[in-house]
């Protein structure tokens, strides 16, 4: 039944098809149909808490650690195995609690009230829960009602319905129950239908329910959102890196194991080395510290009126190449205002705007509310005019005649005031001229919604509308104006290499007019109709979208296809929306951003919610996302260069047939006192440069490009090499235990100094003050690490296979640390001068 085109059939045939009279269904029939069609609500599937918890461990880096735990248990070293397992568990627990908290935050936004509706049952008007409506119910609609199901209208009196959440149309739609429409009539032109979730802004009517629950237009959209959202760029990049890292590590360990067997090495020591390499190789803090960076970023975004539902989406903002934005409520205010007028008779134009108007302050038809605001801005007291010139007759807005009429007593005369469509008033006007036509066309070309106003004197009631003659007093053009700050936001996005594409259900002229106002649409840009998209295959459409700024009269399917085509061509797409019509695109986007005042459906599928519905907030959030991406890049460099430095030291010692320079437990301790405390401070690093002057980078390039790889290998190579030379020298001049103890502390100090170098991309000494203050929290992290290491060295050295160090021993530590600082600094200066030369 849901595929039956009810808008194509007369009312009597629709009622006959649904087997119902205009008196409604009886109680027994309602019960029977409830059994057949079910409740008028959408099913919601929630992810179980267990699945969320287990997902925290679905990471290749965690798999490596689990392998290390297994080998350690097999060797009987339960303490080390317990420590590694504890780190893995704590990482997972932190991610789990953060995701649960985010889910609770969004659930608190949901409305908990049960909506009710007036229906005719057994010939009587009763109020029932919306969820209990069935196909065939006769629903009564009044001003302010939310349409409770999909309806074929059977009666309508001046009925206007706001369908913005479904179609994106900013102006309410005039409804006509008597209309019979062609089969191919698009959703936004079906004037004899009412759709679930839309709002009655004026008039009254009745409709028969033709679809409930998932069979409604909103329900069909909900079915489309079952498609899984794409993984975030950050997750993709981390998984790609993790996979490569696992492969590299596998071959390194395989090489070491085979070589060890060929060299007839002790099997226990060989396994000890493999465990040491495994523990060294895994930056086990990476998932946790990335989460921490994202949490800090989410907190910063919250201060900028952005609620983060899904943490990895914080970084996605920084990678975005396209922002596909709706118009109404994001780019524009979502409220109509008078933009321009053409006055013929000022006094009568003002009287028509006030007296032929049912709005009361903010209540009423958006066009009429805008007229009241316009009058107030002139300094005119409209309430006094209404009290002075009493209404003695009214003809509500008629969707067929397309005008509204009132008769008021003015100076003892009966004066008729009329407002409506220009075409309707022009036909009955006595002051037709070419200027009037030209003015109307000029306003319409600007994308304005134009109303004409007129007046005339009448002697007798009722009014003879067939022979009515009036004088047009003026024209008024309305627009949904752009929000403050949006134009600057668009220009900032363009500077950052991000294209803003406005996709709206509104008409083409209005969309282009708004696009021009906010600099989205410029000279040489293309504006498309949604119906044009089907003319092109995906490749042709992508080439076209690169030059397109506005897509008007777009359906949910159009917006969905636009997003998928862009993603197919490796674009990172952020989608904004507030209506049910935006839900499919929000779901499949790399980053779905819902408006705080939007529908619950949009907020449910989005990964972010902007509480201040403004594009400028989104662009500001992009900036924050890029700062976060830079901090993640820095922490990845720090962790991997330190981990790889440990591998270089261990592998080199093995190849030279030297004893192990570090014990597995010492490696874990190094990770605690360096990475464990220092990496948690990276999220607090301040912005180094204007991140919005850079073009977007592909996620894998943002975190793991050639330069990043070179920097990691360069630092790791020198860190491992300096400590290997130190270890070789110490083996010849002191005991093995002291050699291990000094090398152990030296490597820790090297990693601390590497952290200080990592927080800035520019040379540390180019601006020492800025380098020392760009992240004050770094001192706190290193301070904690120093206290822990001194405790390990002098209070419980035997626990970590080390020895108390003498003053001379500390000189070795200082020597390698200063050397590493100088080596990294020289490299940075070389890169700096090379960049300036370019």
Q: Which residues are catalytic?
A: 326
Q: Which residues contact 198 (CB under 8 A, 6 or more apart)?
A: 146, 147, 161, 162, 163, 165, 166
Q: Which residues contact 12 (CB under 8 A, 6 or more apart)?
A: none
Give the phi and the psi of residue 486 in degrees, each rounded to 5. -70, -40
Closest CA to 180 of 12, 293, 414, 348: 12
**Alpha carbon separation from 606 to 87, 222, 510 (Å, rounded):** 32, 13, 27
**Alpha carbon separation from 830 to 625, 702, 835 (Å, rounded):** 29, 22, 9
Structure tokens at 409: 């007593």
CB 785 within 8 A of CB 670: no
- H/E element holding 294? helix 285-303
Compute the residue count for the chain. Answer: 838
The dihedral formed by the CA atoms of 550, 554, 557 and 561, expressed in degrees to the nearest 10: -10
Query: Using CA atoms, how far apart are residues 397 and 299, in angstroms rounded to an integer?
Result: 50
R_g of the chain, CA atoms, integer Å:
35
DSSP assignments along 441-504, one per residue: HHHHHTTPEEEEEEEEE--SSS--GGG--BEEEEEEEEE-PBPTTHHHHHHHHHHTT-EEEEE-
Closest CA to 241 of 678, 639, 741: 639
CB 572 within 8 A of CB 321: yes
Work out the angle between the directed axes of helices 736-758 and 706-733 (0-180°, nearest 10). Answer: 150
Q: Where are the beta strands (DSSP E) in 303-390?
A: 306-308, 322-325, 337-343
What are the beta bridge partners of residue 502? 325, 550
Look at the alpha carbons of 612, 113, 362, 455 in this order and tell me if their dihedral is positive or negative: positive
Q: Which residue has the tokens 């007369």?
A: 10
What are the beta bridge partners of residue 420? 403, 452
- H/E element holding 374? helix 366-377
Closest CA to 156 of 176, 136, 182: 176
- H/E element holding 261? helix 233-262
User: For 230, which DSSP code?
Assistant: P
Dmax (CA) for the chain in angstroms is: 121
**Alpha carbon separation from 582 to 228, 320, 417, 504, 505 (Å, rounded):** 16, 18, 40, 10, 10
């Amino acid at each position: 039944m849901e595929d039956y085109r009810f808008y194509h059939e007369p009312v009597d045939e629709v009622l006959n098809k649904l087997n119902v009279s205009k008196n409604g269904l009886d109680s027994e029939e309602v019960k029977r149909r409830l059994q057949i069609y079910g409740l008028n609500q959408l099913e919601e599937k929630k992810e179980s808490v267990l699945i969320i918890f287990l997902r925290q461990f679905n990471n290749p880096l965690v798999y490596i650690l689990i392998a290390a735990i297994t080998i350690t248990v097999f060797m009987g070293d339960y303490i080390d195995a317990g420590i590694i397992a504890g780190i893995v568990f704590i990482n997972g627990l932190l991610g789990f609690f953060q995701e649960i908290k985010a889910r609770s935050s969004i659930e608190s936004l949901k409305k908990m009230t049960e909506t009710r509706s007036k229906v005719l049952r057994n010939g009587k008007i009763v109020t029932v829960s919306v969820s209990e409506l069935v196909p065939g119910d006769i629903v009564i609609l009044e001003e302010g009602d939310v349409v409770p199901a999909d309806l074929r209208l059977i009666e309508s009196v001046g009925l206007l319905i706001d369908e913005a959440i479904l179609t994106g149309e900013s102006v309410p739609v005039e409804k006509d129950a008597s209309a019979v429409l062609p089969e191919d009539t698009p959703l936004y032109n079906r004037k004899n239908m009412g759709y679930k979730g839309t709002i009655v802004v004026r008039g009254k009517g009745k409709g028969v329910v033709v679809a409930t629950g998932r069979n409604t237009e909103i329900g069909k959209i909900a079915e489309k959102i079952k498609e899984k959202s794409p993984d975030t760029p950050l997750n993709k990049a981390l998984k790609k890196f993790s996979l490569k890292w696992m492969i590299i590590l596998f071959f390194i360990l395989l090489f070491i194991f085979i070589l060890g067997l060929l060299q007839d090495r002790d099997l226990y020591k060989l396994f000890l080395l493999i465990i040491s390499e495994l523990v060294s190789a895994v930056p086990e803090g990476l998932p946790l510290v990335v989460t921490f960076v994202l949490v800090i970023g989410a907190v910063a975004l919250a201060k900028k009126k952005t609620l983060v539902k899904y943490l990895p989406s914080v970084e996605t903002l920084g990678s975005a190449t396209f922002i596909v934005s709706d118009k109404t409520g994001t780019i524009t205010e979502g409220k109509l205002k008078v933009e321009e007028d053409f006055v013929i008779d000022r006094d009568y134009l003002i009287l028509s705007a006030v007296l032929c108007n049912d709005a009361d302050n903010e209540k009423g038809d958006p066009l009429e509310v805008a007229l009241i605001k316009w009058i107030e801005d002139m300094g005119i007291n409209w309430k006094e005019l209404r009290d002075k010139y009493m209404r003695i007759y009214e003809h509500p807005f008629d969707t067929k005649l397309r005008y509204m009429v009132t008769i008021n007593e003015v100076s003892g005369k009966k004066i008729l005031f009329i407002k409506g469509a220009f075409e309707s008033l022009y036909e009955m006007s006595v002051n037709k001229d070419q200027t009037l036509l030209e003015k109307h066309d000029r306003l319409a070309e600007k994308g304005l919604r134009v109303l004409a106003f007129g007046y005339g004197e009448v002697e007798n009631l009722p009014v003879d509308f067939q022979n009515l003659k009036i004088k047009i007093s003026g024209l008024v053009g309305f627009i949904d104006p752009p929000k403050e700050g949006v134009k600057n936001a668009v220009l900032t996005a363009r500077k950052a290499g991000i294209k803003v594409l406005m996709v709206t259900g509104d008409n083409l002229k209005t969309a282009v007019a708004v696009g021009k106002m906010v600099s989205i649409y410029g000279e040489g840009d293309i504006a498309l109709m949604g119906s044009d998209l089907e003319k092109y295959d995906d490749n042709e459409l992508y080439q076209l979208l690169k030059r397109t700024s506005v897509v008007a009269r777009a359906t949910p399917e159009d917006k969905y296809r636009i997003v998928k085509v862009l993603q197919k061509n490796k674009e990172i797409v952020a989608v904004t929306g507030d209506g049910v019509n935006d839900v499919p695109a929000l779901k499949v986007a790399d980053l779905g951003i819902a408006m705080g005042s939007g529908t619950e459906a949009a907020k449910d599928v989005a990964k972010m919610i902007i509480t201040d519905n403004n594009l400028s907030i989104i662009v500001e959030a992009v900036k924050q996302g890029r700062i976060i991406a830079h901090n993640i890049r820095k922490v990845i460099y720090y962790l991997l260069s330190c981990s790889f430095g440990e591998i270089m030291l261990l592998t080199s010692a093995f190849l030279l047939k030297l004893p192990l320079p570090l014990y597995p437990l010492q490696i874990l301790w190094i990770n605690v006192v360096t990475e464990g405390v220092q990496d948690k401070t990276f999220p607090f690093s301040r912005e180094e440069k204007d991140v919005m002057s850079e073009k977007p980078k592909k996620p894998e390039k943002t975190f793991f490009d050639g330069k990043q790889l070179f920097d990691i290998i360069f630092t790791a190579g020198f860190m491992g090499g300096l400590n290997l030379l130190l270890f070789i020298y110490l083996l010849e001049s002191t005991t093995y235990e002291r050699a291990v103890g000094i090398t152990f502390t030296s490597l820790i100090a090297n990693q601390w100094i590497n952290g200080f170098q990592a927080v800035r991309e520019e040379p540390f000494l180019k601006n020492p003050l800025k380098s020392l203050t760009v992240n004050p929290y770094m001192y706190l992290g290193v301070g904690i690490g120093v206290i822990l290491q001194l405790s390990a060295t002098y209070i419980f050295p035997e626990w970590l296979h080390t020895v108390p160090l003498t003053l001379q021993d500390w000189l070795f530590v200082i020597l390698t640390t200063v050397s590493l600082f100088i080596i990294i600094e020289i490299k940075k200066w070389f890169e700096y001068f090379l960049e300036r030369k370019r």
